[in-house]
Amino acid sequence: MGNTVSCCVSPESSPKLPSRQPAERLEEFQTSTEVSDDNTVPYLQHISDREVPDELALESNPSDHARASTIFLSKSQTDGDSCSTIFIDDNTVSQPNLKSTIKCVTLAIYYHIKNRDSDKSLDIFDEKLHPLSREPVPDEYCRIDPEHKLIYRFVRTLFSAAQLTAECAIVTLVYLERLLTYAELDICPSNWKRIVLGAILLASKVWDDQAVWNVDYCQILKDITVEDMNEMERHFLELLQFNINVPASVYAKYYFDLRQLADDNNLNFPLEPLNNQRAQKLEAISRLCEDKYKDLSRAAMRRSFSADNLIGIRHSNAVLS
């Protein structure tokens, strides 16, 4: 089923976490007062009281700890010819924050794939075993790295059709790196679409104001079934150990590293950091949903389980509106 590991290297191989950020980068996070309106953004400590297994080394996990360097930025800096790989969309600019943010997030995913350590994966994310379309997957599919423009167009299609926001794209990247570190997987040609889709599913339900159900994504990806979406999402949640909490300090770290990635590759990144109110909302929503996920998992861990159960909870909670 979905928990079978496939790998072309020895089982003990796993993604290597990058070294800690330089002191000056940490100082930027702690003292930044950049705003998206009149409010400043203080440095917020990670307040999660969740227990984490010892082997995960919390302090070196970027999706949990604000002082750990993001994996994508480290991988992008090992590439000697970055600019030639970037897809430049020269269409009339609309929603510039969204398009620019997706461009940077998908470039981060591109570097994850290109500079991966191995091809460690799980069957549930394998597109040959669980195709997203009726078209046959080519035999060489798992050996050819996708171009940046292919990843961008896939993500952009989902975000446009589901009317998701630029902030949701950043949360998507947080969940993607959390999956790779918790489950010790690599994102590679055979699994990148389903891993990205799973991260978007969770991010849209936790953060975005527009409620999107799994059946809605089936209208976008017309050949995938609701049952497959639910199964993939359930495995994604289990591999995250139901930790969908995104502290504001972690979001800020990903924002700044994406801005650095944009600068390194001559891309525009107009999105501003969260203001204090939205930062607090992000923490409150993600922690609320995390608690509800755990309750639902204990009550109904079945094949049809999905995060759709949380949409009503999230949008009916007045204190978060």
Convert the pLDDT of each residue in 171-202 to its tens digit: 999 999 999 999 999 999 999 999 999 999 99
How far is it, in rounded angstroms, from Cα 272 to Cα 268? 12
Every domain of the chain and the residues it spans = 98-265
Residues 6+ apart with CB under 8 A from 189: 113, 141, 142, 143, 144, 145, 146
pLDDT in tens, 42-94: 443 343 444 445 544 555 788 888 888 888 888 888 765 544 455 544 433 34
Check: CATH 3.40.50.1220 for 98-265? no
Question: How buried is 73 (Cβ within 10 angstroms: 0-12 exposed, 13-18 middle, 19+ buried)?
Answer: buried
Q: Is 31 helix (H, G, I), strand (E, B) or coil?
A: helix
pTM of the predicted model as reported, rounded to 2 decimal places: 0.71
For residue 78, what are the CA distances in angstroms to 17, 114, 160? 13, 10, 32
pLDDT digits (tens, 9 = 90+) for 243-295: 999 998 999 999 999 999 999 998 888 777 777 777 777 777 777 776 666 66
Distances (CA, A) of 154 to 110, 127, 146, 159, 198: 12, 14, 11, 9, 13
